[in-house]
Structure 1
Amino acid sequence: MKRTLLFFCIFAFFVFAYVGRYQPISLDLVSPSTKTVEIKGEVKKPGVYTIKWDGTIKDLIQAAGGLCPEADTSSIAMLKEMNPKEVIVIPRKSATTLKKVSLNTATEQELQTLPGIGPAMASRIIEYRKTKSFTSLEEIKEVKGIGDKMYEKIKDRICL
């Protein structure tokens, strides 16, 4: 009788020890395999894309159809992993990275890309250089209508 009682006590101990140990698996604890990220700016197809969880900015750009020719990726880390619901903006090349305009060889259209230079001013610059080519950048102030203020606006964008 003592053995039977001891057996039931041990059996009850093991039964109560295992009760409540097994819990259903919650799918909330499972990590996702994809993430949604938005890309804007100088890409061919800006929008919201779903990429692999360990996807990088390079993968996102490929999903968006690639970069536009005006895209400036010098400040973007292509191997950076993104957070879910993050917004990535690909900037456009700034004016400082654009090609400088030569005062002695530029066409009228190229001169008009300078800030504050329209068709009339571009024609005056071309007429001036027909008589005398430019030997210094400051010499452009001799063209009628270009003063110190205009020169300050365009000095970083011109060359000889």
Structure 2
Amino acid sequence: MKFAGFFCVIALMVLFYARNNAIDMTQFQTDTKKVEIKGEVRSPGVYEVDWNATVADVLKEAGGSLENADISSINLSRNIENEAVIVVDKKQEEKKISINSATVEELDELPGIGPSIAQRIVEYRNHHSFQTLEDLKEVKGIGDKLFQKIKDRIML
């Protein structure tokens, strides 16, 4: 009888101890995680990467970004969470400015064009309309170097 009582006390202690101990979850943690990347990348999809992978690592797994990708706002060094989604957006095309109809203020936004050159462009077009983009070089103060700087941002 004493033996049975002793056995019951031991059994209760084992049950109590086993139920109230924390389980070490590190033994169940994986070494990898799954991350989806989409948008302007060569191979969008879901990738299994190292647990400590960064956005740059996932971008590399996806074959890198496309030419029209805008990665300027993405923190490439950021660690990513399991099941995260990374979206690489397309670059926004710059609005082109019409040299035949833009205001002085709009022309002034072009690199290298200040208010005085912008005013000269408006005065020139009041007498001659621009037939080609290169006609802009007829305006005093706009040479080859400045024209090369702005040619991709202007239109007729």
**TM-score (normalised: structure 2):** 0.51
Q: How many residues align?
A: 111
Match 1:126 to one of 116, 122, 132: 132
Q: Deviations over 1:94-152 (max 9, x none)?
A: 223x9x89x7xxxxxxxxxxxxxxxxxxxx6229829x813489xxxxxxxxxxxxxxx
Question: 1:26: Cα distance to partner?
Answer: 9.9
2:29 maps to what in 1? 31
Residue number in structure 2 paired with 1:116: none
Cα distance, 1:89 vs structure 2? 1.2
1:146-157 aligned within 5 A: 157=153
What does residue 13 of structure 1 align with?
9
Alpha-carbon distance change, 128 to 93 in structure 1, aligned in 2, over 3 angstroms: closer
Q: CA deviation at 1:22?
A: 4.2
Provide structure 1 residue ranges, at least 5 long, that are not aligned to the other structure.
104-123, 138-155
Q: Between Structure 1 and Structure 2, whose CA radius of gyration is higher?
A: 1
The answer to whether 1:55 aligns with 2:49 is: no
CA 127–93 in structure 1, closer or farther in 2 if over 3 Å, else same: closer
Deviations along 1:10-65, one digit per CA (max 9) or x if unpaired, are 56533431246447x798x8223322221112211111211122211111011101
How far apart in 2 are the matches of 1:81 and 1:89?
A: 15
Aligned to 2:90: 92
**Structure 2 residue aligned with 1:40:** 38
Distance 1:127 1:85 in 2: 50
Q: CA distance change for structure 1 residues 129 and 11 in 2, over 3 Å: closer, same or farther?
A: closer
- Taking the aligned partners of 1:58 and 1:85, their CA distance within structure 2 comes to 16
